[in-house]
């Protein structure tokens, strides 16, 4: 969910090369190409998000979220923080705080209208699918969009679109982009604080995150200081993705890319520790494993739900993601070197093509994300029509992945503005 990879966006200062060092192929006067790992893993996250948001998709039982505390959302937000450090951090250095902040605001404006467009397009699609009356299901009802269509004393239907446009009504399915907008708005504050020192940045980010932890704040008797945002004016429901909690993972990625945090050393001890953390999370995360007679895992999960709460981005999600990210970072090799194809055989060429496709999807993540949220509802309808049989479900997933790839290449083509290069 970040930005195009034009030369102006990928130029960085020396301090931008920490967690993901600049590739070796840097020549004077050319743009620095970002670490392959950034776009590769963000591209992987886009495909996982499509699978996860498709209702009735049995492949969702095998996504990372079913095997650990963190999931593709963490990959998405962390990598967005890293990409934002490239796209915006250098801008603050070059043009100053005022214009750097203006550029961030412009990005927030773009994301806002992507959010509005996704909402309207999805409503239109789900109304059409429901009116087809092929499966007998209410597809806008599945998204709990009753307040949009049904008047009730329980919600303020006449003001629903005003509430939506002012982000005071944020339906659950449409809450990731609003969270991203709020997190982006923190960036000018972060860039002011870093002028003091990095400790001021760390203190700000950690304090805001702590105040987003509802259970902890209530336990300390500070419930009135709990930071959250209301999701609808007629109830006490809050945003599912609390931006005050999720900013921690975003600015962790941001700090690594800016060089404020040193890249972790590659060591066997850290690798083993990370692997132990990831493996230890499986029994309490995977329902199939828990049902295999692990009563202690069921009890632990019930008693400690606040420790891995997704809404507030609780501490175990953070620890699990960092461990998983470290494993992926080491395995992929320096600058993503092990992701590159080796040899000239058919398998090597095939792998090279696959990596290139995943990188392209990662580079165009905002456009890809919006399209994935839209077509996920259409894919769910297709699975309902085919009674969720194995072969049709696999083909529908493959078709959905193809749409994401086409979106990425199409967005890249348009961002390149080829009409400016055409000979008139």
180-232 pLDDT tens trace: 999 999 999 999 999 999 999 999 999 999 999 999 999 999 989 999 999 99
- For the purposes of burial, counting CB atoms within 10 Å of the CB of 127, is it exposed (0-12), middle (13-18) or buried (19 or more)? middle
Q: Which residues contact 65 (CB under 8 A, 6 or more apart)?
A: 52, 71, 72
Domain residue ranges in the chain: 7-414
Residue 2: is its pLDDT beyond 90? no
CA distances from 2 to 224, 253, 407 (A): 34, 13, 15
Q: What is the distance between the alpha carbons of residues 126 and 144, in angstroms, rounded to a whole number?
A: 11
pLDDT tens column, 339-364: 887 777 888 889 999 999 999 999 99
Evaluate if residue 402 carries a pLDDT over 50.
yes
Read off the pLDDT of each residue in 139-143 and give the average, rounded to a whole number: 95
pTM of the model: 0.88
CB 365 within 8 A of CB 80: yes
| Cβ atoms within 10 Å of 182's Cβ, excluding its own | 18
Q: Which DSSP helix (H) or strand (E) runs through 31?
A: none
Reported confidence tier of residue 97, pLDDT bands at 50, 70, 90: very high
Give, rounded to a whole angstrom, the gap between the first and last alpha carbons of the chain.
35
Q: b/e map of 324-351 (b: 16 or more CB within 10 Å)?
A: bbbbebbebeebbeebebeeeeeeeeeb
pLDDT in tens, 233-280: 989 999 999 999 999 999 999 999 999 999 999 999 999 999 999 999
- The rounded percent of the chain whose pLDDT value lies above 70 is 91
State the Cα angle at 204 between 315 and 100, rounded to 5°.
Answer: 115
Does residue 122 surpass a pLDDT of 80? yes
Encode burial over 369-389: b for 16+ CB neighbours within 10 A, e otherwise.
Answer: bbbbbbbbbbbbbbbbeeeee
For residues 373 and 121, give the distance between their C-alpha atoms in angstroms, rounded to a whole number.
10
Task: Using the predicted structure, report yes or no on whether residue 9 has a pLDDT greater than 50.
Answer: no
């Amino acid at each position: 969910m970040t930005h195009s990879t034009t030369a102006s966006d990928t130029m960085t200062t020396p301090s931008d090369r920490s967690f993901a060092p600049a590739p070796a192929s840097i020549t004077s006067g050319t743009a620095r190409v970002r670490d392959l790992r950034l776009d590769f893993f963000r591209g992987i996250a886009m495909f996982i998000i499509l699978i996860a948001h498709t209702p009735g998709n049995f492949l969702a039982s095998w996504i990372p979220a079913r095997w650990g505390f963190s999931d593709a959302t963490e990959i998405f937000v962390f990598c967005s923080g890293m990409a934002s450090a490239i796209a915006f951090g250098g801008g603050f250095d070059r043009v100053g705080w005022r214009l750097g902040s203006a550029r961030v605001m412009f990005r927030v404006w773009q994301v806002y209208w992507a959010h509005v467009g996704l909402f309207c397009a999805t409503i239109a699609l789900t109304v059409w699918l429901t009116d087809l009356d092929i499966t007998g299901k209410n597809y806008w009802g599945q998204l709990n969009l009753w307040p949009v269509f049904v008047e009730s004393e329980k919600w303020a239907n006449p003001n629903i679109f005003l509430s939506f446009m002012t982000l005071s009504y944020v339906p659950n399915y449409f809450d990731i982009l609003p969270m991203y907008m709020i997190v982006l708005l923190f960036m000018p504050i972060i860039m002011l604080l870093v002028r003091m020192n990095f400790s001021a940045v760390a203190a700000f980010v950690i304090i805001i995150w702590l105040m987003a932890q509802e259970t902890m704040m209530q336990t300390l008797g500070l419930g009135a200081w709990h930071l959250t945002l209301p999701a609808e004016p007629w109830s006490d429901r809050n945003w599912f993705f609390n931006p005050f909690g999720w900013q921690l993972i975003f600015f962790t990625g941001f700090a690594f890319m800016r060089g404020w945090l040193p890249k972790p050393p590659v060591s066997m001890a850290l690798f083993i520790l990370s692997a132990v953390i990831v493996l230890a999370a499986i029994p309490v995360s995977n329902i199939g494993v828990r049902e295999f007679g692990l009563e202690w895992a069921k009890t632990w999960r019930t008693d400690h739900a606040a420790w891995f709460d997704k809404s507030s981005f609780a501490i175990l999600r953070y620890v699990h993601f960092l461990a998983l990210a470290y494993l992926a970072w080491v395995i992929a090799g320096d600058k993503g070197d092990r992701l590159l194809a080796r040899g000239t055989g058919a398998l090597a060429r095939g792998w090279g093509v696959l990596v290139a496709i995943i990188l392209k999807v990662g580079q165009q993540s905002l456009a890809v994300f919006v399209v994935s949220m839209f077509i996920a509802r259409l894919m769910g309808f297709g699975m309902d029509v085919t009674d969720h049989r194995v072969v049709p479900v696999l083909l529908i997933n493959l078709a959905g992945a193809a749409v994401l790839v086409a979106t990425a290449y199409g967005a890249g083509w348009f961002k390149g503005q080829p009409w400016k290069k055409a000979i008139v």
